[in-house]
Structure 1
């Protein structure tokens, strides 16, 4: 199957979820439930994930579906970028994660950097707001927006967290093996463009 099938499955899932959220007719609800089942079957065929796991992912979503938001911190020191080694895949990423309800993007990234690297930071600039589908990430079940925020270290010290097993600063030409579900090489290199040109405009899409 091609990536287009995966995108079709996600689109069908989004439409069925919205229909289930707003439909009153029992007949329409049955049709939207059937559409959700079809999207689940396509997803299972494409990804190889267990049907039950996909069903749980989809049925736990309520209301009108919108992209999920992932925030990543960009911290430079001596012309090197801060990265953390993820326990889940033993690869490296900019510190960050899903945005929590009740916190702003800036508050989220301060929390994530502290928890994953041990450093205290202050957000200073929004660098990029990117659509995962327009970058070379592996196929995902959901549609994500990724926010990249530059931060300045104000305190703390390198310390691994619950989800991380290493902290390091890396030069642009000597990046470690990346956790590409979280960030791609082209995105990291884009962040270094902001280091070389602090006046560079925010990137979107």
Structure 2
């Protein structure tokens, strides 16, 4: 978790927070989607994370995607903003996540080949054969990717 959020939590405890996040949807040549298996709960999500104070949404997406996957990306277009989801973490922290999902393209780098604090695995999945997701928002996000692919493959 970002230092900014740790500082906030030290002040407010488990009180509800509204937090901004950015995530990236990276598709390979087969139109498979790169997903991150989260350390600690073995559920899957999009590479991405919390905005740091002073960052733009694009900067957050680029930084978090590289931290989570090892790949440097460039956001191409905003697919959708998700702003109605409330999530309660196992420790009781409650957040309303405002997530901006970007379609991204790979610029450089290679997928991580080792476990990190936040990533236990990275894998490309066919859009019709997806794993169990971390939260309901991730499920909505993947639907936005599917809708985008279907619309642009005609």
Residues 21-40 of structure 1 deviation map (CA, whole Å, 9 limit, x = unaligned): xxxxxxxxxxxxxxxxxxxx
Match of 1:72 among 11, 18, 23: 23
Give the gaps of 5 or more residues in structure 2: 1-9
Give the Cα separation in 2 of the matches to 1:68 and 1:142.
7
Residues 22-63 of structure 1 deviation map (CA, whole Å, 9 limit, x = unaligned): xxxxxxxxxxxxxxxxxxxxxxxxxxxxxxx9x6233xx9xx
What pairs up with 1:48-197 in 2 under 5 angstroms? 56-58=13-15, 67-77=18-28, 78-133=30-85, 141-159=94-112, 160=114, 161-180=116-135, 183-184=138-139, 186-197=140-151
How far does residue 146 in structure 1 lie from its aligned partner after superposition?
1.4
Cα root mean square deviation, aligned: 2.6
TM-score normalised by length of structure 1: 0.60
Task: Indicate the structure with greater helix content.
Answer: 1
Partner of 1:3: none
Give the Cα separation in 1 of the matches to 2:65 and 2:75.
11
From the superposition, tell whether residues 69 and 138 of structure 1 become closer, same or farther in structure 2 (CA, over 3 Å).
closer
Q: Secondary structure at the match of 1:196?
A: helix
Partner of 2:5: none
TM-score normalised by length of structure 2: 0.78
Matched residue count? 137
How far does residue 181 in structure 1 lie from its aligned partner after superposition?
5.7
Give the Cα separation in 1 of the matches to 2:104 and 2:27.
8
1:172–1:189 CA contact under 8 A, matched in 2 = no
Give the Cα separation in 2 of the matches to 1:101 and 1:198.
35
Q: Secondary structure at the match of 1:120?
A: strand
